[in-house]
Amino acid sequence: MTTNTKVTLLFGGRSAEHEISLISAASIFKNLDSRKYKTSAIFINREGNWKAVESPLLPAEELNRGQFQSFLPWTDSSRSAALTADIYFPVLHGPFGEDGTIQGLLEMAGVPYVGAAVLASSAGMDKATAKILFQASDLPVADYTVLREEDWRTNRETALKKLQGTFSLPFFVKPANLGSSVGITKVDAFEHTEKAVETAFLYDEKILVEKGIQGREIECSVLGNSNPQASLPGEVIPHRDFYDYEDKYIEGKTSFGIPAKLPPDIAANIQRIAVEAFKAIDCSGMARVDFFLERKTNAVYLNEINTIPGFTEISMYPKLWEVSGLSFPGLLDTLIGLGFEKFRSRKRNTRGFCP
């Protein structure tokens, strides 16, 4: 990595987390060291069209104004200066960005990029698949079941009876492929189950129903490629009933324990499981791993992994690295370096490629 490395942020996107992507990208843009990087940005609107922009700090109306393209024209010489980069930094939360789709495009283009590759991105995005991989690695997950929309539409009463017979109150219903707590419902009464399921199906064709763990919400940041490291764990202390979208991004009344006040052995166990979860989905670059710590037993339950965690001013991922000794600009330096490292490793492995 040399001085004035050109970094291009990819932000916006088609998912329900579009607005969060804008905030994260603006935060990253402001914290990239201008002495080291020449930063540009590509905005993807809600329709999935692309446009090179000056920065993600522009107002939303200006971002959405002007001419867009349906696809990134890697070989279009008339626009290559605006769109090409030394390394790309996807800041696209949720589907069509965090799920392996953008990563697949970047792989096909043969360019370096920050963060997880295709497999880890898609597995991490699909919470049901991630739990299968976690269980295969003997990592502790709470009881859950997967419900598909077609089964729900054709056998609603049977599905309701099964859920009510399987889970005690409270339990959670959420889309399998989304983040930022979009579409999640905490079910405190069985008569609310149907509404919770319908809400989740607004966002995905596959949903999860999970046992409610009465306890603390703990998060841990992981950084690295072949030798990942875990930050100190942090605690989310929701203002509302649980840490939902409004609590995260609208009301702003959630408090955080950074780092979390935990016995050393429990903190170390959470860090260990976070690293193992990172490895279980073959992740690289970064991830935030979320846990529940049951109050009565101190049992640790692995909840989910986020391969493009939030980078807003209140986001746990950079904050946990800061209290662990790595500043926000230093964290971005490390992530970019890991992206180049991963790219060099892929270039050395030529299996499956034409000579």
Is residue 351 a part of any domain in this protein? no
Return the CATH number at 256.
Answer: 3.30.470.20
Predicted structure pTM score: 0.88
Cβ pair 260, 218 in contact under 8 A: yes
| Burial class of residue 238, CB neighbours in 10 A (0-12, 13-18, 19+) | middle
196 plus 292 within the same structural domain: no
Three-state DSSP at 227 gives coil
CATH code, 192: 3.30.1490.20
Smallest Cα–Cα separation from 231: which of 204, 208, 205, 260? 260
Q: Is the peptide bond before 259 cis (omega within 30 degrees of 0)?
A: yes
Q: Compute the distance between CA of residue 68 and CA of residue 45 in angstroms, rounded to an integer.
A: 9
At residue 12, φ and ψ (nearest 5 deg) are: 95, -115
Instruction: State how many domains the chain has.
Output: 3
Q: Strand 50-53 to strand 206-211: parallel, antiparallel, or no bridges (unpaired)?
A: unpaired
Per-residue pLDDT of the chain (355 residues; tens, 9 = 90+): 556 899 999 999 998 889 999 999 999 999 999 999 999 999 999 999 988 898 999 998 999 998 887 665 555 544 455 577 999 999 999 889 999 999 999 998 889 999 999 999 999 999 999 999 999 999 999 999 999 999 999 999 999 999 999 999 999 999 998 765 778 999 999 999 999 999 999 989 999 999 999 999 999 999 999 999 999 999 999 865 654 555 554 555 678 999 999 999 999 999 999 999 999 999 999 999 999 999 999 999 999 999 999 998 789 999 999 999 999 999 999 999 999 999 998 866 655 554 4
Q: In terms of domains, do 226 and 323 share one?
A: yes
Q: Which residue in 342, 330, 353 sits closest to 112, CA to CA?
A: 342
- The answer to whether residues 220 and 199 belong to one domain is no
Whether residues 134 and 279 share a domain: the answer is yes
Range of the domain at 155: 144-211
Q: Which residues contact 236 (CB under 8 A, 6 or more apart)?
A: 217, 218, 219, 243, 254, 256, 316
Kindly state whether residues 136 and 277 are assigned to the same domain: yes
